[in-house]
Structure 1
């Protein structure tokens, strides 16, 4: 198993990479911070990875995405699974006041992620096999005042991956968007992270790893968010607009 992880320093990505390492996979970890990538790679080798290589790259840049992904694949010697797991939450209030903040949220969470998804889809279609797994969010299921800029980016990403999955339907590869609910990671520091609805990165990682092999094209993590979001999506606006969520 050869796996490319784009955004490998995120908590969910690292936890997922540990699951692949336990299977003896070859991994290529991509992100901006060389030191952290190296530390994660060393840990993955201890955990059983056959190889754990690194590549430093600013994934928010969309220049030369196709060529760069090709370089990553050659560095690893081929690819079976591609995991896209980077993003920023951003601040909704700042995004409403400052267009540049909103642009950053949209650029990182949708524009650049979409470019990598399309490049990955083209490669997997050429080889006729493999999995593209992308971390989305339940925030994309319905616009809410608390985070609608971030939610809009994740909604667009979900539509893109569903479309790629439809494109793949008779061609061999698979594409899956995994939508976690609130998860205890560095991204959510400062939130009140108590309660049964909060998941841990390893819990979400288990869903991500399984989604690469089966199910989809839309998977919720944990599973019960599928039903929570079904209710939220179908609430009448008269009720929804009175809710502080």
Structure 2
């Protein structure tokens, strides 16, 4: 039985992943933005949930206490899954610094405020895995989403540094580079064959985290695609 802390648990992909973990008997602590959605998810997952708490992760000063509560409720953490972020409006970010900042805050800066206490706690524990949902968009600056992509690229580089720092402590870091997924976050996007279902993505996440991959394209078909585009 693994002890799993999920940040951003009410996102479609994270919730699907949480259901897989619960089904195999793991113990979960859920963090998310919506109390109502968290309560509904916790009820759905039943006795596998050790606790949950809602809050705005862009309120960075509150994140260390949120993470600490999760570690205490679980008695330590084996997997910390971070599924926090938002697409934002690219055109608005080109005209308005405030929107550009919001995208960097939601996709990188607030994630850093979560990762600092997670990394330090796992380092002190001497074991564990940090798995973070990023995006294949981070590998290229494209006109349609380069603000979001730049924020995710910064997050990936930060995670590479954490991995190097914590390797000797027995802590592993998995960067999950997700392709497009059919979720509420992409509801306004025209869907094509490049989109995956949240259920398939969740299965891939569980698998690659279990085997300890440092970087995983999810689904795996995105590795050769990104090598040539």
TM-score bucket (shorter structure): over 0.9
TM-score (norm: length of structure 2): 0.95
1:211 to 208, 220, 224: 208
Contact 1:81 1:130 in 2 (8 A): yes
How far apart, in 2, do the equivalents of 1:157 and 1:128 lie? 23
How far apart are the structure 1 equivalents of 2:29 and 2:217?
Answer: 25
The match for 1:239 is none
Q: State the SS of the aligned residue for 2:52.
A: strand
Distance 2:141 2:7 in 1: 27
CA distance in 2, matches of 1:219, 1:158: 12
TM-score by length of 1: 0.89
For structure 2, list consecutive stretches of 5 or more residues without a partner in the other structure: none
Q: Which runs of 5+ in 1 are unaligned?
A: 233-245
Does residue 26 of the first structure (1) align with residue 27 of the second (2)? yes
Partners of 1:122 and 1:152 lie apart in 2 by 26
Residue range with higher mean Cα deviation, 12-21 or 198-207: 198-207
Q: 1: CA distance between counterparts of 2:62 and 2:56?
A: 12
Q: Distance in 2 between matches of 1:96 and 1:87?
A: 19
**Distance across 2 between alignment mates of 1:224 and 1:168:** 29
Aligned to 2:116: 118
2:130 is paired with a residue whose SS is strand
Q: What does the per-residue CA deviation read over 1:112-137, in whole Å, with 9 as the maximum and x for residues that have no partner?
A: 10121122111111111111100000
SS of equivalent to 1:119:
helix
Tell me, yes or no, if structure 1 residue 60 matches structure 2 residue 58.
Answer: yes
The two structures, once aligned, show a CA RMSD in angstroms of 1.3
Q: Which has the larger radius of gyration?
A: 1
| Residues 37-186 of structure 1 aligned to structure 2 (within 5 Å) | 37-45=38-46, 49-186=47-184
Relative to structure 1, is the Cα distance of residues 26 and 135 closer, same or farther in structure 2, using a 3 angstrom cutoff?
same
Deviation at 1:163, TM superposition (A): 1.7
Where in structure 2 are the equivalents of 1:212-231 lying within 5 Å? 212-231=209-228
Distance in structure 1 (CA, Å) of the matches to 2:85 and 2:146:
15
Q: How many equivalent pairs are there?
A: 228
1:193 to 2:194 alignment: no
Residues 51, 70 of structure 2: 8 Å contact kept: no
Matched-pair contact (CA < 8 Å) for 1:165–1:174: yes
Partner secondary structure for residue 169 of structure 1: helix
Q: 3-state DSSP class of the match of 1:149?
A: helix
